[in-house]
Amino acid sequence: MDFFHVLIVLLESTIRVSVPLVFAALAGLFTERAGVFDISLEGKMLGAAFAAGAAAAVSQSVWVGLAAAVLVSVLLSLVHGYASITQRGNQIVSGVAINFIVAGATVILGEAWFRQGGRTPALVEGARFQIVNFPGADAIRDVPVLGPIYADLLSGHFLLTYVAFAMVPISWWILFRTRFGLRLRAVGENPGAVDTAGISVIWLRYRAVICCGILCGFAGAYLSLAMTAGFVKGMTAGKGYIALAALIFAKWRPVNVMFACLLFGFLDALAIRLQGAPLPLIGRVPVQLMQALPYILTVVLLAGFIGKAIPPKAGGVPYVKER
């Protein structure tokens, strides 16, 4: 296989593994722009993945699975919102608690319901998303350069893949070109001024966490209904934390978020590609080291190359209405 085809395969894998990161990072973008730090992206993704796998296995419908994923993720977001917005609790503690609870609950419920060691049954064709092939993809596959780009890189992905990347300009438009987006960003910077203008800070922040729940639901559904054929315990494997790192790395801007997620996805795809492969002057690298590579480089990038990332001024601070 020549270099060009290896590159196409690597980029296709990059897109595939970046999808849940894009969804989750955009989800965190809405909440953090509204002043609510959400470290529970991991837990919401995992809960959504389990709900999607379980509902699709029982109903044999991919759409029921997707709806269940969004519903569970939104409910978890509302729990986080109630703890951090209504009760003015510590947002980090609330997020960590959700992550731990979901990690345990998915295994317990999976074992109780399906008796497969915390897994859900393997999904049949109608219960999971299928590959979307563009018109003429097979016909031009053998055309030099353009054929592989169109047939393998642009075509041949799941529906949620295209939804994820479509959400990038949609999120940008919502945040920077709509009244709701203006108010959302304002409540993350100066909630007192928003309240003085007669706009409910609490309701705006709840709307932000609901948006977060919907997008995390899509991320979880992608994992169990598209990327794999069912739920496996711990299948998020830290993707929620990497999405959070990508969000900070991108300095809370939607387009930058997409490129940051693609970067982390590329590192993940590269690590998968290099597992067991001999490297010049090094030889075979242990599989465990290659699996840890994306996480190591995440820390390196955040520590050494991010520059000064300034979060929203009111981020993480519960709003107390002035009397």
Q: Give the tens place of pLDDT for each residue, 48-57.
A: 999 999 999 9
Q: Is the pLDDT of residue 138 over 90?
A: no
Q: Where are the beta strands (DSSP E) in 23-179?
A: 131-132, 157-158
Quote the percentage of the chain above a pLDDT of 70: 93
49 touches 55 (CB < 8 A): no
Question: How do residues 252-305 score in pLDDT, each as one tens digit?
Answer: 899 999 999 998 888 888 877 776 666 666 667 676 777 777 777 777 776 765
Whole-model pTM over 0.85: yes
pLDDT bucket at 229, cuts 50 / 70 / 90: confident
Give the pLDDT of residue 158.
Answer: 92
Q: Residue 202: exposed, middle, or buried by beta-carbon count in 10 A (0-12, 13-18, 19+)? A: middle
Show the tokens assigned to 314.
Answer: 């009111």
- Provide the mean pLDDT of the chain: 87
**Could you tell me which residues come within 8 angstroms of residue 266 by beta carbon, excluding any fewer than 6 positions away?**
10, 11, 14, 18
Closest by CA position to 30, among listed 172, 143, 227: 172
Domains of the chain: 3-304 (1.10.3470)
